[in-house]
Chain A
Amino acid sequence: MEFVAPPVVFDKTRASRWSYVCHACSRCCYGKGIQVAPYEVLRLARNLGISTTDVLARHTEGGGMRLRLRENGACTFLTERGCGVHADRPLVCRFYPLGRQVAADGGETFGDLPPHPQTEGEYGDDGTVDDYLRAQGVAPFIAAGERYGALYRRMEEALLRRRDETGGDIPPIEMPVDAPLTSWLDVDATVAAYCAERGLPIPAGLDDTVTMHIRAVEAWLESLGA
């Protein structure tokens, strides 16, 4: 499956006047690419009472980085009563119908995604983008994204250093469309292996699990001399 980013003008800030009332028509739950980062997979796993390994295997595609779509284009979690994992839905579903862009300096902007022609959602200016984001509960997702973002930059620096050291004898870094899942994205499996090796108890809370996951990946980077 091929997904493309819709045309979006990122012309809003958190202070911009903007509001949206969702009437749960579910039209935005069809034919969409829903990217999922490790924290989101972890939230989905806890919601469903299964491991992140199972979420990745049963509910994702594209190498574990995107939610699976059914044959009719519906999101894997869509039910007759709407989203089946609403309390733990991914970040891009919380932003919708907005998209978020984060610049190199960390500054964020938001833009309207093209609405479904028959959407029942109501657009207005009764509030601000920030009001909407607060109501959608995006804060823990953004916080986790920043923590993983710092880890990602460290990984990337390590790779670039290795490329320099090996005279460029590694493939260029390209974002995969349907790359095989790297096991490091599997939070529960990574944390379980890391804790077992060191005789540590497996953390129960979300934040502690994320901390342990990041620590496990960092330990791997250190073992590579990064």
Chain B
Amino acid sequence: MSDQETTRRETLKLAAAVAAFGTALGYRRTADAAGKTELKTELKHVELKLYDGGRLVHSCPIPQSALKQLKAEHKLEIKLFVNNKAGDTLGWDLKANKKL
């Protein structure tokens, strides 16, 4: 490995360490290097909401494991199961914004 490559490698490691320490300590951006914020941040989440007309009947968060996979072109399918057997399917095409 050339000296130049070694230097670049070391510099990248240093950049990663700076970013990691900065985040862990609450420094948000290099421009704020001397300042920091320490607080509980809020998790962004998506909820499934069930309405009867204008009345909210129920809401629950969509699990993070599902959110990680969710993309705009995906279809959201709400499927009714009875005794582990699939019944009616209700769905909404997120991209086309229409009922399936």
Enumerate chain A interface residues (CB-CB to B < 8 A): 1-6, 8, 28, 31-38, 62-65, 69, 71, 73, 91-93, 95-96, 98-106, 113, 145, 148-149, 151-153, 155-156, 158-159, 162-163, 166, 169-171, 173-176, 179-182, 184-185, 217, 221, 224, 226
Contacts and interface: CB of A to CB of B under 8 A. Distances in A.
Nearest to A37: B24
B55 interface: no
Contact of B23 (A63, A104, A106): A63
Interface residues on B, range: 35 or more
Contacts of A104: 32-35
Given A2-B44, A33-B40, A158-B14, A175 B35 contact: no
A166 B8 contact: yes
Interface stretch (B61-69, B70-78, B81-89, B92-100): B61-69
Nearest to A75: B40
Contacts of A31: 42-43, 45
B25 A149 contact: yes
Question: Which of A73, A156, A224 has most chain B Cβ within 10 Å?
Answer: A156
A2 B37 CA distance: 17
Contacts of B39: 5-6, 8, 92, 95-96, 98-100, 113
29 contacts: A1-B44, A5-B37, A31-B45, A33-B41, A35-B38, A35-B41, A37-B24, A37-B25, A62-B23, A65-B20, A69-B64, A98-B39, A99-B37, A99-B40, A100-B39, A102-B37, A113-B40, A148-B25, A151-B21, A152-B22, A153-B33, A156-B18, A166-B11, A170-B8, A173-B30, A179-B23, A184-B21, A185-B24, A224-B14
A3 B35 contact: no
